[in-house]
Structure 1
Amino acid sequence: MTKDIRLEDFDISYAGHPILKSTSLHLSAPTADSGGRRYGLVGRNGIGKTTLLKAIGTREIKFAEHISVLHVEQEIHGDDTTVIRAVLAADSEREGLLAQVEELTARLNSLSTTGSAKDNAGTDDAAALTKTYARLAAVDADGAESRAAAILSGLGFDADAQKRATRTFSGGWRMRVALARALFVKPDLLLLDEPTNMLDFPAVVWLEKYLSKWPTTLLVVSHDRAFLDSIATDIIHQHSLTLDHYRGDFSTFVKAREDRKKQRIKEYETQLQYRQHLQAFIDRWRYNANRAAQAQSKIKILEKLPPLDAPTKEEDEGLGAGGSHIYFRFEEPERLAPPIIKMDGVTFGYNVPKPPPPGSKFILENITFDLSPDSKVAVVGPNGAGKTTLLKLINGEIEPVRGQVTRHGRVRIAYFSQHHVDALEMNLTPVQFLAKKFPGRPEEEFRRQLGKFGITGPTGLQILGTLSGGQKSRVVFAWLNMTSPHVLVLDEPTVNLDMDTIEALSRSIRNFAGGVLIVSHDERFLDSVCNEVWVCEGGHMARFEGKVGSGDGIVRQ
């Protein structure tokens, strides 16, 4: 049976708003020559990409039952199961076969001890056991653990981490386990929504290489251009309640869209010029006795022409192709004398008392730096190296067990993290949320602040729970901006943002006159805004300011 997926003439809506209308989606099955097709799903924030993935993953849109589908959308539940065991357990066929072997072996052993191993039951069980072993060999059950370990290693789990209970990991790491389970199972259709969000640079590079050889069909939402260029064989563009299909990677898609856009504009201008020519003839000769018949003929031609609609920008929004109407703007902070934040010999470890006893385990040790009012700093390093911990120390959420953090007496710090996005009151509108945070201020000010971050018109009056992840992030940026910060401390700020929004955020940070510290997996974003890199690794931090004249960005250096 074919593994082609053909979704015909379907509609999707969310919270009463249409997402797609009378549209179709065709996903081709793998072939022996080219392997699996890998589709990148792109479009602006709030257009409904995640809603489409959920509708496919839950089979709300019907397709053939023999096609297996897996949608990686949430972290696994943490319990005492080890990481490696959690991945192996995802293969339900292998688990069932192993359980069958155990049951059949136990029955045969029981028959053997009672001296009746050669009766019909024993013969049947022995035949079933042989058949089960053959199927286990066919699915390479013996190699399953090594395959699972290789996937986990690529996603950042070392040998010790693979043996730890899943409950000992944070939500971000459990999300990696969920991704590892999906990669291990290899469903006919794998649905991934921003899979690079929780990964560091090495894990992203590994995932790119792994998915570039993916044997089945993949549909992935991502804002990461380099990632899509690395893995995508096709691009699905969601816009204007419909889906358009393009062959090639993201860069090929952008060029094709630009060529098509130029062609549309040329056709529009040609048609407009033709109509203007007809109208000019009509206006000049319709009341002239000698030309009135010709003028009437032109009028009939003009009336029969279909409506002429000017090309719109909407379908190009969110693609980072330029021309976006999205503009972020952080308020100009008052100038403060440097340094505005200083660390001197700071050491920190979780669950470590103050003063720390001998043998304590530290995340960061003996960190010293000064932050100037105009610093634009990228904080990089492997997962677990203490990047987010450093930001929390700067923000005052946690206190060092040794050393001192000194902040300027008037400094205001705006701290963005996905925790703040998750903490939004989802039953309120953006305007109501800001009114609750800043009571007494006029509604017009809240609308103006939201407008600075692309939340305009009716979107400001929608319930927060109905907004996309990127739109919720914009609301948080507006909230933080209203505190008039001197320093922006941003932990993975590009998560869930479309490409236009990331470019708008980049421009606003470059133009911001205060200090900035950023943790992000998005190398392109960091290179576009940062002039200094702090590298966290092995409990220590090193500063890097880049080489003048190098062709590489500072983070890549």
Structure 2
Amino acid sequence: MIRAAGLTLRRGVKVLLENAEFVVHPGERVGIVGKNGAGKSSLFSLLQGQIDPDAGTLDMPASWRLASVEQILHDTGRPAREFVIDGDRRLRELQARRAALGPEQGQAIAELEAALVEAEAWSAPSRAEQLLAGLGFAPDEWTRPVASFSGGWQMRIALARALMAPSDLLLLDEPTNHLDLDAMLWLERWLAGYPGTVLLISHDTEFLDAVARVILHFEQQSLVRYKGGYESFLEQRAERLRQNRLAIQRQTREAAHLQSFIDRFKAKATKAKQAQSRVKALARMQTLAPLAVESGIDIRLPEPAQTPDVLLTLEDAALGYPADGAAAPRTILQDVSLMVRGGSRIGILGVNGAGKSTLVKTLARELAPLAGGYRPAKGLEIGYFAQQQLDVLDPELSPLQHFVRIAPDTREQELRNMLGGFGFGGDMVSQPVAPFSGGEKARLALALIVWRKPNLLLLDEPSNHLDVDTREALARALAEFPGSVLLVSHDRHLLRTTVDSFWIVADGRVQPFDGDLEDYRDWLQQRQAQRNQIARAAAPAPGQDRKAQRREQAQARQELAARRKPLETRLKRVEDAMAKVQARLAELDALMADPAFYTDAHKDVRPGLMAEHGELSKALQGHEEDWLEIQTEIEALEKS
């Protein structure tokens, strides 16, 4: 077992744990929960021997094999499948020793062959392929170099490599950040069958609830153990808070406020399945109202000045990216006709790369339709949040200075009140944002967006990097927001509490989806089953003329190769450009991770390097989108 006794851990002058004690038993699935900066990742570093405790002990069996997801990948020229197998270091060591033996070393060969059988060497390729397939990689991608994939897909490969490694203790730090819903569901099933001990950090509460059977919560510089999943943890912790007289008084006010809203929502909710799912999710939020008070984060979204009945429409639109130099326009979605009405609350579903972000960028007027009509209503005010919004922040300015820049005539106390609701209080409102965490920067970017009182919020993965308390606060705020919301998210809890209906983006189309998230999961499984059936039907019949079959296959391969060549040439150019940008970003990331970067010694060069980092990040995103679209064209070509 893992046992901590008198454990004290500091980060700089900040005390993360003081005289903490906890136990993790073999085979347990443990969720690690706490606010951003509480010490979750530092605890993982301690378990991996990367840092030492300041006092006390943290012991675990010396025989335990530990696996975790590497954040910085090496040997990225390796094919993806081989890179995943490399995660089994014992197997690779045995294979290397076997390859070094000569034919005259019969006894040693026999011993190594037996060891390789015990290490399941012969099934290693198929096991690696199963992991890659489960995480969303097509068979023709298994042999591609790791470096040819975008950053998010490289992290999926790193996750597969960690799962490939034989281990007794598996450490997973935000494993779902780069996964779409089908890959997330697959990972849940895989972890259910894992025989070892799992320690999991995740801000995705539904994933955490599906996997964890014990919760360790960072509370007041200690770790408190709760038996059960995440939902049970919330209920137990809420009950503890109810025992405090002051908490009871405060919770009563918050619960009454939420109950009033829920009653109004129930009165107008439709019978659609997702709307009814939202009723249940909101009732859960009301039960757990004490935690909202205790978290200290109380996000309130300003009410729009006006909300037209029809905010915008798209008519027979083709969406994608315009011509760029010699490159032709790239159409991602076709025949898109949709209407966003006042008060609409729509979740946008679809696997990664289907075109969800392209749709949202078009609605936000960052991309113009390639064809068809875009008709905004008079008075439309859009608030658009995407991950690149963080690059708009000036690292040298404080949160308060950011607000003064966009609202110079507003009283400072009003700005401070707004910032306080988003978790920026005390001295924090006057500190530069450069050292802020990703979650803190995301909160600030969202606060700046909603200050303008939009009547349509377009949110592309708004909860990435947010801790659990902030996600809950955002869910409450969006649930009560009277304007319209279009949401792209893999956070199922946020979807359940925020939206009443769904659109599905798939196969180059956008269609309404009459169901809830459980129905979407079934839809994904049925879709995969249909693909498997089509693949089996396309297999040659046993009695088919083999010679004619080979001749037809050879001709088809030649035609395909001729049509693929210009696409592969474009793909190679994009991959070379991505490699250069990634190399420079890696240099800047290493520099910016050094605390010395924020001292006066780098004062003159820091703004320029941070600006370069932002521009390169945008360029990389553009290259990744280009790469994805070319890959989509190649896949479509192979399926035709």
Name the TM-score, length of structure 1 as normaliser: 0.75
Counterpart CA distance in 2 for 1:355 and 1:59 is 50
Instruction: Give CA-to-partner distance per residue, 1:229-260, whole Å, 9 cap, x none.
Output: 32222111111011112332223333443554
Residue 516 of structure 1: CA displacement? 1.4
The answer to whether the 8 Å contact 1:333/1:514 transfers is yes
Counterpart code for 1:418? Q
Which of 110, 123, 132 does residue 112 from structure 2 map onto?
132
Distance 1:353 1:401, change over 3 A: farther
Which SS does the other structure have where 2:428 is aligned? helix
Give the match for residue 41 of structure 2: 50
Matched, 1:22 2:2: no
Counterpart code for 2:398? T
The answer to whether the 8 Å contact 1:37/1:234 transfers is yes
Which of 299, 309, 313 does residue 342 from structure 1 map onto?
313
Counterpart CA distance in 2 for 1:454 and 1:436 is 20
Counterpart CA distance in 2 for 1:419 and 1:494 is 13
Distance 1:504 1:342, change over 3 A: same
Which of 473, 476, 495 does residue 445 from structure 2 map onto?
476
Report 1:60-99 matches (<5 A): 60-61=51-52, 63=59, 67-72=64-69, 74=71, 76=73, 79-99=76-96
Counterpart CA distance in 2 for 1:211 and 1:255 is 24
Which SS does the other structure have where 2:161 is aligned? helix
Q: Which has the higher contact order (CA 8 A, sep 6+)?
A: 1
Counterpart CA distance in 1 for 2:76 and 2:320 is 24
Residue 6 of structure 1: CA displacement? 2.7
Distance 1:101 1:400, change over 3 A: farther
Counterpart CA distance in 2 for 1:197 and 1:551 is 19
Report 1:321-360 matches (<5 A): 321-324=291-294, 325-335=296-306, 337-349=308-320
The answer to whether the 8 Å contact 2:65/2:166 transfers is no
Residue 441 of structure 1: CA displacement? 5.9
Which of 89, 101, 116 does residue 104 from structure 1 map onto?
101
Counterpart CA distance in 2 for 1:330 and 1:246 is 33
Which SS does the other structure have where 2:477 is aligned? helix
Q: Which has the higher helix share?
A: 2
The answer to whether the 8 Å contact 1:486/1:514 transfers is yes
Report 1:222-233 matches (<5 A): 222-233=202-213
Which SS does the other structure have where 1:464 is aligned? coil
Distance 1:24 1:98, change over 3 A: same
Counterpart CA distance in 2 for 1:436 and 1:57 is 44
The answer to whether the 8 Å contact 2:320/2:358 transfers is no
Matched, 1:253 2:253: no
Bigger drift between 236-245 and 461-470 goes to 461-470
Report 1:2-21 matches (<5 A): 4-21=1-18
Which of 197, 200, 225 does residue 177 from structure 2 map onto?
197
Distance 1:364 1:354, change over 3 A: farther
The answer to whether the 8 Å contact 2:307/2:483 transfers is no
Residue 411 of structure 1: CA displacement? 3.3
The answer to whether the 8 Å contact 1:395/1:415 transfers is yes
Counterpart code for 1:226? E
Counterpart code for 1:216? G
Residue 345 of structure 1: CA displacement? 2.5
RMSD: 3.5
Distance 1:127 1:432, change over 3 A: farther
Distance 1:435 1:168, change over 3 A: farther
Counterpart code for 1:340? L
Bigger drift between 177-186 and 321-330 goes to 321-330
Counterpart code for 1:341? L
Q: How many residues align?
A: 476
Gaps of 5+ in 1: 30-35, 109-121, 269-317
Higher radius of gyration, 1 or 2: 1
Counterpart CA distance in 1 for 2:289 and 2:42 is 18
Counterpart code for 1:335? Q
Counterpart CA distance in 2 for 1:54 and 1:166 is 26
Give the match for residue 313 of structure 1: none
Distance 1:347 1:507, change over 3 A: same
The answer to whether the 8 Å contact 2:292/2:298 transfers is no
Counterpart code for 1:44? K
Give the match for residue 519 of structure 1: 488
Give the match for residue 383 of structure 1: 352
Counterpart CA distance in 2 for 1:519 and 1:386 is 11
Counterpart code for 2:84? V
Counterpart code for 2:312? I
Residue 503 of structure 1: CA displacement? 3.0
Residue 77 of structure 1: CA displacement? 6.3
Matched, 1:177 2:148: no
Residue 219 of structure 1: CA displacement? 0.9
Counterpart code for 2:38? I
The answer to whether the 8 Å contact 1:75/1:172 transfers is no
Give the match for residue 414 of structure 1: 383
Residue 262 of structure 1: CA displacement? 5.4
Give the match for residue 167 of structure 2: 187
Instruction: Give CA-to-partner distance per residue, 1:203-243, whole Å, 9 cap, x none.
Output: 22211111122222211112333323322221111110111
Counterpart CA distance in 2 for 1:392 and 1:78 is 35
Counterpart code for 1:328? I
Counterpart CA distance in 1 for 2:30 and 2:509 is 41
Bigger drift between 70-79 and 516-525 goes to 70-79
Name the TM-score, length of structure 2 as normaliser: 0.66
Give the match for residue 277 of structure 1: none
Distance 1:93 1:463, change over 3 A: farther
Instruction: Give CA-to-partner distance per residue, 1:460-517, whole Å, 9 cap, x none.
Output: 2445354444333211111212333232111112223344433322232233233211
Instruction: Give CA-to-partner distance per residue, 1:505-535, whole Å, 9 cap, x none.
Output: 2232233233211001122321222123111
Gaps of 5+ in 2: 54-58, 249-287, 524-640
Matched, 1:207 2:187: yes
Distance 1:442 1:212, change over 3 A: same
Which SS does the other structure have where 1:399 is aligned? coil
Which of 313, 329, 334 does residue 365 from structure 1 map onto?
334
Counterpart CA distance in 1 for 2:228 and 2:77 is 44
The answer to whether the 8 Å contact 1:73/1:192 transfers is no
Percent of pairs with identical residues: 33
Counterpart code for 1:16? V
